[in-house]
Amino acid sequence: MEKEINISKEGLIKSLEAKGTDQEELHKKAAEVRDKNLSKNVYFRGIIEFSNVCQNDCLYCGIRKSNKKLKRYSMTKQEILDSVEFCNKANYGSIVLQSGESQTKQFTDFVTDIIKTIKKKYPNIGITLCVGEQKKEIYKKFFEAGAHRYLLRIETSNEEHYNKLHPKDMSFKNRRQCLIDLKDIGFQVGTGVMIGSPFQTIENLAEDLLFFKENDIDMVGMGPYIPCDETPLKNPNHNPEKNLNLGLNMIATLRLMMPDINIASTTALQALNPIGRELGLKAGANVIMPIVTPTKYRENYQLYQDKPCINESSEDCMHCITRRIRSVNLNPAFGGWGDSKHFFKRVKDGS
């Protein structure tokens, strides 16, 4: 299957720049590769954005610590459990617990405890974590508590580019080490990048795809960059149309390179086009992440401008997403964990 695409840097750039009928052809081929290697199932990850408190100051992110306009919140244990109960009733199969970053013991103990409680009450629900960079022993605690997938976007695979998007106290090497630690512990590991972020070149994106491949990543969640007013990078030469197309071509190209990984069709695609997530599925994605954060908190988890669904309820999102999946002739895979097929192959091969 890998012969479907020329994975030289030049070949990848050509694929990323595909337009018109070439682009249609690329997406069609990627969808076929997904159907053949995985199936027409689209798996759910109900995402609970349980806290916007963040110690980091990423120059692009709406919940960065210097954004004093933001009302900070942390959901209580009961509120999180209520959201999980919603996912259980909706039969989503899996949840993602996402938040800003904190390395305090109070925070990591809270996360460990909530994982244990969820696992005890809902053993059939798969848990993905997305709580940033942590020490290896903390990742191990999370794993032992019952989380089995972890999402940590590298944001860009180019160190120089990384340094332009992050403050001096954040390090590319550390983030990369975290991905190694997570894999070593036994997590199914997901990463990703922002597409169309300031200072990024098309070569960078081609290198990002090669980074996923070289690091034998199990899952990818990547989405277009969208400026946020309350950040230092609020005014780049933003081109929504270009970013959307690049985002879709990244999904399709990656699907041809890595036929058996999980790829999410992310919410940011929908911020750029009302049917952005459907287009992501048509380009080869197989995972979707309905928001289950209580409506009252959503406006305070705006990583970027015009994030969709912030006035909707979890119920609205469930109906809407199911309809969207069916509209592109795919199957909403209720109840399944939808683990990364690539992970099992990787573990069996001992890599």
Residue 224 Cβ vs ligand SAH, minimum distance, rounded to whole Å: 7
For residues 44 and 50, which CB has a smaller minimum distance to ligand SAH in the complex?
50
By C-alpha distance, which of 70, 63, 91 is closest to 338? 91
Residue 64 Cβ vs ligand SAH, minimum distance, rounded to whole Å: 8
For residues 35 and 230, which CB has a smaller minimum distance to ligand SAH in the complex?
230
Please give the DSSP secondary-structure letter assigned to residue 89.
Answer: H
Residues 26, 95, 147, 152: which binds ligand SAH (CB under 6 A)? 152
For residues 223 and 290, which CB has a smaller minimum distance to ligand SAH in the complex?
223
User: Does residue number 217 form part of the binding site for ligand SAH (CB under 6 A)?
Assistant: no
User: Does residue number 75 form part of the binding site for ligand SAH (CB under 6 A)?
Assistant: no
Residues 93, 100, 280, 284: which binds ligand SAH (CB under 6 A)? 100
Residues 98, 249, 265, 270: which binds ligand SAH (CB under 6 A)? 98
By C-alpha distance, which of 170, 288, 319 is closest to 223? 288
User: Does residue number 211 form part of the binding site for ligand SAH (CB under 6 A)?
Assistant: no
User: Does residue number 38 form part of the binding site for ligand SAH (CB under 6 A)?
Assistant: no
User: Does residue number 225 form part of the binding site for ligand SAH (CB under 6 A)?
Assistant: yes
Environment class of residue 150 by beta-carbon count within 10 Å: exposed (0-12), middle (13-18) or buried (19+)?
buried
Cα–Cα distance, 201 to 213 (Å, whole number): 19
Contact 95, 125 (CB under 8 A): yes
* Distance (Å) of CA 260 to CA 38, 39, 167, 342: 6, 10, 35, 5
User: Does residue number 18 form part of the binding site for ligand SAH (CB under 6 A)?
Assistant: no
Estimate the share of the chain in helix, then strand, then coil, as percent rounded to the nearest 5: 45, 15, 40
H runs (alpha helix) in the chain: 9-16, 20-37, 77-90, 105-121, 136-145, 159-165, 172-185, 202-214, 240-257, 267-272, 276-282, 295-298, 314-327, 341-349
Q: Which stretch binds ligand SAH (CB under 6 A): 25-33, 152-160, 165-173, 285-293?
A: 152-160
Q: Amino acid letter at 16?
A: L
Q: Which stretch binds ligand SAH (CB under 6 A): 112-120, 135-143, 149-157, 206-214?
A: 149-157
Residues 141, 153, 183, 255: which binds ligand SAH (CB under 6 A)? 153
User: Does residue number 147 form part of the binding site for ligand SAH (CB under 6 A)?
Assistant: no
Residues 46, 132, 259, 290: which binds ligand SAH (CB under 6 A)? 132
Q: CB within 8 A of 161, min separation 6: which ones?
A: 197, 199, 200, 204
User: Does residue number 304 form part of the binding site for ligand SAH (CB under 6 A)?
Assistant: yes
User: Which residue carries 């390395």 as its tokens?
Assistant: 103
Token code pair at residue 247: 């985002």
Token code pair at residue 239: 């081109």
Residues 31, 48, 95, 130: which binds ligand SAH (CB under 6 A)? 130
Please give the DSSP secondary-structure letter assigned to residue 229.
Answer: T
Q: Which stretch binds ligand SAH (CB under 6 A): 18-26, 202-210, 224-232, 245-253?
A: 224-232
Q: Amino acid letter at 148?
A: H
User: Does residue number 149 form part of the binding site for ligand SAH (CB under 6 A)?
Assistant: no
Residue 304 Cβ vs ligand SAH, minimum distance, rounded to whole Å: 4
- Interface with ligand SAH (CB under 6 A), residue total 18
Count CB neighbours of 186 within 10 A. 14
Interaction residues for ligand SAH, span 246-275 (CB under 6 A): 268
Residue 100 Cβ vs ligand SAH, minimum distance, rounded to whole Å: 5
For residues 101 and 218, which CB has a smaller minimum distance to ligand SAH in the complex?
101
Site residues (vs ligand SAH, CB under 6 A): 60-61, 98, 100-101, 130, 132, 152-153, 155, 194, 223, 225-226, 228, 268, 303-304
